[in-house]
Structure 1
Amino acid sequence: MQVAKIIELSASSPNGIEDAVQSGLKKASESVKGIQGAWVNDIKCVTDSGGTIKEWRVNMRVTFVVD
């Protein structure tokens, strides 16, 4: 029987949502082994005063198998 654990983390990128998710997963994989997937449960963008998007931010839940 496998047991999974879920952690919640935030990541950001000026290049888009997918890049924010990818960079968050890459950073998490440096210390968390056995990542199985992620659920993006919140997306936010930061803008300048003119409404131009400066940065995308995501909150996600990352699932990994516990040894």
Structure 2
Amino acid sequence: MAVVKVIELLAESEESWEDAARKAVAEAAKSVRGIRSVWLKEMQATVENEQVKAFRVNAKISFVVERT
């Protein structure tokens, strides 16, 4: 039976929420192997001069725990 761990990351992109999610996964992949999914728990956008400046996500990333 696999054991799955979940970590939570905050990521930001000036392009889109999807790009912010990709950035969160890419950053997690630098130190975590076996990533299986990402769940966008919350989404937020910052506004400057009445225009959206950046998209932010609170991403929950799950991966299988490797046993030794």
Q: State percent identity of aligned pairs.
A: 36
State the TM-score, normalized to the length of structure 1. Answer: 0.94
SS at match of 2:62: strand
Aligned to 2:40: 40
Task: Show structure 1 runs of 5+ residues with no match.
Answer: none
SS at match of 1:11: strand
Computed over aligned residues only, the root mean square deviation of the Cα atoms, in angstroms, reads: 0.6
State the TM-score, normalized to the length of structure 2. Answer: 0.93
**Distance between the aligned counterparts of 2:21 and 2:59, measured in 1?**
8
Runs of 4+ with >4 A deviation: none
* Aligned residue-pair number: 66
**Distance between the aligned counterparts of 2:54 and 2:2, measured in 1?**
37
Task: Show structure 2 runs of 5+ residues with no match.
Answer: none
SS at match of 1:2: coil
SS at match of 1:44: strand
